[in-house]
Amino acid sequence: MLNESWATLWEALAAGQPDHVAVVIGDTRIRWRDLDARAARLASILDDGGVGHDAKVGQLMYNCPEYLESAYASFKVRASTVNVNYRYRAPEIVHVLSDSGARALVYHGAFREVVDEARRSLPELKLLIEVADGTPGDRLEGALDYASAIDTAAPSIPSARSGADSLLLYTGGTTGLPKGVVWSHASLFGALAFTGYASMGLPVPETPDEVARVARALNEKGSGPVNMTAPPLMHGTAMFLAFSTFVLGGTVVLLASRRFDAAELLRLVQREKVNQLSIVGDAFARPIVEELERAEAAGSPYDLSSLGRIVSTGATLSAEMKRSLMERATNALILDMIGASEGGPFAVAMTMPGQDPVSTAHFMATPNTVLLDEHTGEKIPFGSGRAGVLAASGSMPDGYFGDAEKTARTFRTLDGVRYTVPGDYAEIDADGTVHLRGRGSVCINTGGEKVYPEEVEVAGRSHVGVLDCVAVALPSERYGETVCLVASRTSGSVVSETDVIDHIKGEIAAYKAPRRVVFVEAVYRSPSGKADYRWAKEAALAAS
């Protein structure tokens, strides 16, 4: 496996294809020579600020060129980026930056107030760099202006680095405080790049020069990936997809809007001739389909003929949405994956162009997938009818930052093979079909029976009147816990609580059906599309 820093790989790409467009953000196009030059200047600023090997650089920004530049610059000085959710309040920002020991923070001017509040509790935070975004007011005292600092700095000189250099990805998950997952650059290359090269029938390069040579060859043939990544860069899925696209010589296309805008996404797909669209389940697919339908009704349909692949991970992509997308993107296969910040994929569902019938959550195990008993940790044979936790071997993180105990629980060695076991429950048939049950941390125990939210949510969203939903537990004197569904209705729907419950009982075992359905105007999800079970629990309790 190639054992190099991502900065070294990107420097090779910049040297080998300097005029190739690396990134499109809205109407801004960034070529490799400019991305590298600006990152080199920022690297000097970080170095002068005492940010070096294994230091941490927080990123609190919306999508912008500076996000990728600051990641590149951090890698150049062998520091690690720390993604900070831009919806976080000061206490959550303090948790992420203090937990990681961040020494620097690059942030948008829009977050000036919350950064000022947070930094009072962050004595280790020594370097603040503000990216101007039109927000009125003065920079924080002591903060550098990003653009001015870049203009006056001398570029850093490439230095020796290592594939053991780390990237620290904070994942909010579905419950609890955000936790940092430590990926070495070499392991991340193995996890992301192998799949990319294999899908194109190419051997995995073994040197940075080979990476650049393969990228250049793909672009000369016009077959390099053009990847439209719908989630924001602060979400690990988007950043990792950007990385995997880069090493194949491709172009990453990102939304410039600060809220998800399906019309902007589809305009970019059409204009840039995007050949891969990456989304997170129905949370992204539904507004995309609605915009497609609006444009068709207006007599100005979008041209999706360039799309060869639609990839979804992190949340369920329903059969309804798959079918709607495939009717418009007739050349595209749909790849629906079960993955995690801790590794994977654990299972994949592939829907080929024109395939019928189309199914929801019909996954197949990968060659690296096993099922483990939650108590003994032993492997469960496929086809046993027993539920267990999904595990996968292959390239994976080193572990959780500063948490040896949790690392030991999640990354386990069996028969000499290391597996990642983040806590997703499933049953696997003899033919490898995976029936996902959901994350164990949000499992509902009702009268001694385990109910996994995922299967309730899939059944709930299959009702024509339900737009989105999240299943949570409510306390019960008799049963310990009962299932409650927090749901939003489709436009014009008058579906009732009884309608939804009866429908779900027709889809799954009756004991798994919710006893309550709480309707809300909109189901809250993170910008990445992940369910927020804490919010849903509060909404359910408030309505009880």
pLDDT in tens, 249-297: 899 999 999 989 999 999 999 999 999 999 988 878 989 999 999 999 9
- When mean pLDDT is compared across 19-33, 278-292, 390-404, 519-533, the lowest value belongs to 519-533
CB-based contact 360:462 (threshold 8 Å) = yes
CA 358 to chain centre: 24
pLDDT band at 535, cuts 50/70/90? Answer: very high
Which helix (H) or strand (E) segment holds residue 186: the answer is: helix 185-199
Give the model's pLDDT for residue 294.
Answer: 97
Average pLDDT over residues 229-252: 90
pLDDT of 168 higher than 70:
yes
pLDDT at res. 441: 64
* For the chain, percent of residues with pLDDT exceeding 70: 98
- Residue 218: its pLDDT value, please? 93
Strand partners of residue 336: 312, 349
DSSP conformational letter for 308: -
Mean pLDDT calculated for residue range 23-50: 96
Summarize the confidence of residues 454-476 as an average pLDDT: 92
Q: Is the pLDDT of residue 37 over 50?
A: yes
Confidence label for 445 from pLDDT (cuts 50, 70 and 90) = confident
User: Is residue 451 predicted with pLDDT exceeding 90?
Assistant: no
Q: 308-317, 413-422, 460-469: which range is least confident on average?
A: 308-317
Domain segments of the chain as ranges: 6-13+27-188, 443-543
Sign of CA dihedral 440, 446, 448, 450: negative
Nearest to 204 by CA among 213, 36, 8: 213
> What is the model's pLDDT at position 420?
96
**Residue 123 pLDDT:** 96
Q: What is the pLDDT of residue 175?
A: 47
CA distance 411 to 396: 9
Single-letter amino acid code for the residue at 502: D
Q: How confident is the model at residue 172 (pLDDT cuts 50, 70, 90)?
A: low
Mean pLDDT of the chain, nearest integer: 92
522-535 burial code (b ≥16 CB/10 A, e <16):
ebbbbbbbbbbbeb
| Cα–Cα distance, 397 to 80 (Å, whole number) | 14
* The pLDDT of residue 439: 67
User: Does residue 201 have a pLDDT over 70?
Assistant: yes
Helix axes of 453-461 and 497-505: crossing angle, nearest 10 degrees:
110
The class that CATH gives domain 443-543 is alpha beta
Pick the residue with more confidence: 528 or 482?
A: 482
Distance CA 462, CA 410 (A): 32
User: Does residue 318 surpass a pLDDT of 90?
Assistant: no
At 194, the pLDDT band (50, 70, 90 cuts) reads low
Say if residue 173's pLDDT is above 60: no
What are 320-360's pLDDT values in tens digits? 899 999 999 999 999 998 888 888 889 999 999 988 777 87
Give the span between the Cα atoms of 136 and 134, in whole angstroms: 6
| CATH ID of 6-13+27-188, from 2.50.20.10, 3.20.20.450, 3.20.20.70, 3.40.50.980 | 3.40.50.980
| C-alpha distance across the termini of the chain, in Å | 54
Count of CB atoms situated within 10 Å of the CB of 543? 14
What's the rounded mean pLDDT across residues 519-533? Answer: 86
Band the pLDDT of 186: cuts 50, 70, 90: very high
